[in-house]
Amino acid sequence: MPDLNPEILLWARETAGLSLQEAASKLGIDDARGVPGAERLAALEAGERQPSRPLLLKMAKQYRRPLLTFYLPAPPRMGERGQDFRSLPPEHSRRDDALVDTLVRDVRARQGMVRALLEAEDEAHPLPFVGSMAMRDGATAVLASIMQVLGLDRSQFRHGLSQNRHAKKGFPYLREQAERAGIFVLLMGNLGSHHTSLDLEAFRGFALADPVAPFIVINDQDADTAWSFTLLHELAHIWLGQTGVSGAAPTTALEQFCNDVAGNFLLPFEEIAQEQALKHALFDGVVRRIGEIAEAYKVSHSLVAYKLFRSNIITRDMWGQVSRFYRQKWLASRAGSKKDREASKGPDYYVVRRHRIGRRLLSLARRMLEDGALAPSKAGRILGVRPTNVYALVDEAGRPAAVSARS
């Protein structure tokens, strides 16, 4: 193999979001002859010497890059994440940005394999709703199209069908309808470890608006009551034909538009317009009423606050106050949940994985395994698990299950 361009080593580490100290620790580069491990790594990145083959293999694993990447003549251009719809705070870290890029690369690779699989099996049928609308059509028209294509019913979302006690409601209902329409919906808030968890400021969700295999990813580090809003927001991006990453702060016209699409389904204007008395209410009264509305309509407190602001019922200042209040409340709740998880065994690995992957992707993998169109190794890459876990994941008995209907 030829010598490496040391710039590749620096680029790979920085785009993995690791400092010299963090990378040296992960790579097992210890202090030697009075030289700290971080300095020894810096010497490699400066081209003073070449890494050994075993060390290069470690770098490929820890930096999440194919081995051949390190033999390129120069660092590749930044991976395409699509449009960046986020408005990032000044303190936003380069590490988080690198993690988002890694997450998007991972999902893009999985989406590409899914599309190639569908094409190979003659199932690559274009979905007409992808890119079918534009902002000029208006949020109301975009929402109407989404509801028509997905067959959404607001009352079922909130309460389920009264005549069927097994009917789904809330986020599971929205996800199922989206997946039936051909959209893959994943829950991902890290790269497989809590050490790589991504805050909402880094990303709340992103959409890959592919006409054959569209993907939506929702940051499951957010409160589960907010997943429905994010899913609907990303569906709006799919309908607009836009691939990109969304954040927590809707400061652009486009993000406000997609928020309006989501908000108009979850809490229509005519319902929130009844809250005119809150125009003169103090903070405690606003918070109390928001809680009542959120419970009644099965939506998040943050959504209710946002809708009140967008409807000119509460001021931007009041919206900011209550948003910070709910953010702190959520962080405290999450910290408590983490302690509870550490004190218990937690849910079964496969139950959690299935929930994050979604029924559509699992069903496709199961069916293709049965048909012999997919090997366990490739199925593992698509599902984001080891090949040895594939059969246990797609079927609790540890073998491919019979599937009566096509995904």
Instruction: Supply the pLDDT for residue 399.
Output: 44
- Rounded to whole angstroms, the maximal C-alpha distance in the chain is 75
Identify which of 170, 199, 171 has the alpha carbon closest to the alpha carbon of residue 99.
199
Percent of the chain with pLDDT over 90: 50
Q: Is 84 a residue whose pLDDT tops 70?
A: no
Alpha-helical (H) ranges within 170-282 are 170-180, 227-239, 253-266, 269-272
The pTM (predicted TM-score) of the whole model is 0.76
* CA–CA distance, 239 with 5 (Å, rounded to integer): 43
Whole-angstrom CA distances from 263 to 119, 258, 297 are 36, 9, 12
Other Cβ atoms less than 10 A from the Cβ of 4: the count is 17
Distant-in-sequence, close-in-space partners of 212: CB < 8 Å, separation ≥ 6: 115, 118, 119, 124, 125, 126, 127
What's the token pair of residue 62? 């820890």
Residue 186 forms beta bridges with which residues?
217
Average pLDDT for 347-363: 91
- For 187, the 3-state DSSP assignment is strand
Judged against a pLDDT cut of 70, whether residue 319 lies above it is answered with yes
User: CA–CA separation, 190 vs 196, rounded Å?
Assistant: 5
Domain ranges of the chain: 6-77, 84-266, 285-346, 349-394
Interacting residues of 211 by C-beta distance below 8 A, sequence separation 6+: 126, 127, 130, 131
Please tell me the distance from the alpha carbon of residue 321 to that of residue 233, in angstroms, as a whole number: 23
Per-residue pLDDT band for 251 (boundaries 50, 70, 90) equals: low
pLDDT at 403 > cutoff 50: no
Q: 72-76, 160-164, 254-258: which has the minimum mean pLDDT?
A: 160-164
Residue with tokens 């209710």: 304
CATH number for 6-77: choose from 2.60.130.10, 2.60.40.1930, 3.30.470.10, 1.10.260.40: 1.10.260.40
Cα dist from 318 to 285, 295, 305, whole Å: 11, 21, 9
Q: Can you say how many angstroms the Cα of residue 178 is from the centroid of all Cα atoms in its chain?
A: 15
pLDDT over 50 (residue 360): yes
Residue 117, pLDDT > 80, answer yes
Average pLDDT, stretch 146-166?
83
Tell which phi-psi region holds residue 182, choosing left (phi > 0), alpha (psi between -120 and 50) or beta. Answer: left
Q: Residue 314: how many CB atoms within 10 A of its CB?
A: 24
Name the least confident of 32-36, 149-153, 214-218, 233-237. 32-36
Question: Sheet containing 83-84: which strands, arranged edge to edge?
Answer: 83-84, 244-246, 205-208, 215-218, 184-187
SS3 35: strand
Q: What pLDDT score does 400 carry? A: 41
The label of the residue with tokens 């910290």 reads 335
